[in-house]
A and B are shown apart, each in its own frame.
Chain A
Amino acid sequence: DAGVIQSPRHEVTEMGQEVTLRCKPISGHDYLFWYRQTMMRGLELLIYFNNNVPIDDSGMPEDRFSAKMPNASFSTLKIQPSEPRDSAVYFCASSLAGSSYEQYFGPGTRLTVT
């Protein structure tokens, strides 16, 4: 079975540009999580969805960040406008309710904002 799929794997953009990251969770999983990882702050939860509904977006750093999940098989994380401090690896993960809370991570998108 395919795991969590993320695209693009690498993104280099200039400050001020819009960036859209994409995620396809594992089929049948009803939770989807977006994380950001940096050396300084480690892995931080940005937002998570349950059955396509945003449950907790308290980790979203500011209004420049937005996330959507239009259906059970697709989610986007958008940054507009991007800033150099947004440079990080962004992971998407999914899990199944009633499981042992194991989250399955995608390979991540490495974002560099110059």
Chain B
Amino acid sequence: RKEVEQDPGPFNVPEGATVAFNCTYSNSASQSFFWYRQDCRKEPKLLMSVYSSGNEDGRFTAQLNRASQYISLLIRDSKLSDSATYLCVVKDGGATNKLIFGTGTLLAVQP
């Protein structure tokens, strides 16, 4: 079983749609969680951290369910510029700075 699993997609949605991505992780000791965004042929960049109580940044909402070891990202009113691969990321449990990346979910927003 992979440490971080995501639906690879692609998700093809029209502009203005709401889209949700899910992710599960296997290490129950993991403490920190993130979503990174990677544009085509570019490097990954931090989109947002995921907090236990859930958090929102504009059109983006991230949620964490520790009991189910499940993380989600919701994008409302999607824009063409949201088209990218979204990487679910989990900090390795323990005193390390290792991040474990999911393989990513591809989003294509259509005009």
Contact = CB atoms under 8 A, between A and B. Distances in A.
A42 B97 contact: no
Interface stretch (B41-49, B55-63, B74-82): B41-49
B104 A42 contact: yes
B99 A42 contact: no
Contacts, number: 41
Q: Is the interface of A mostly helix, strand, loop or mixed?
A: strand
Contacts of A102: 34, 46
Interface residues of A, number: 20
A97 B95 CA distance: 12
Contact of A43 (B34, B87, B98): B87
Contacts of B100: 45
A101 B92 CA distance: 11
A105 B97 contact: no
A107 interface: yes
A73 interface: no
Given A42-B104, A43-B87, A101 B99 contact: yes
23 contacts: A31-B97, A42-B101, A42-B102, A42-B104, A43-B103, A45-B99, A48-B97, A48-B98, A91-B43, A91-B44, A95-B97, A97-B97, A100-B32, A100-B49, A101-B91, A101-B99, A102-B34, A102-B46, A103-B99, A105-B44, A106-B43, A107-B42, A108-B43
Interface of B: 32, 34, 42-46, 49, 87, 91, 96-104
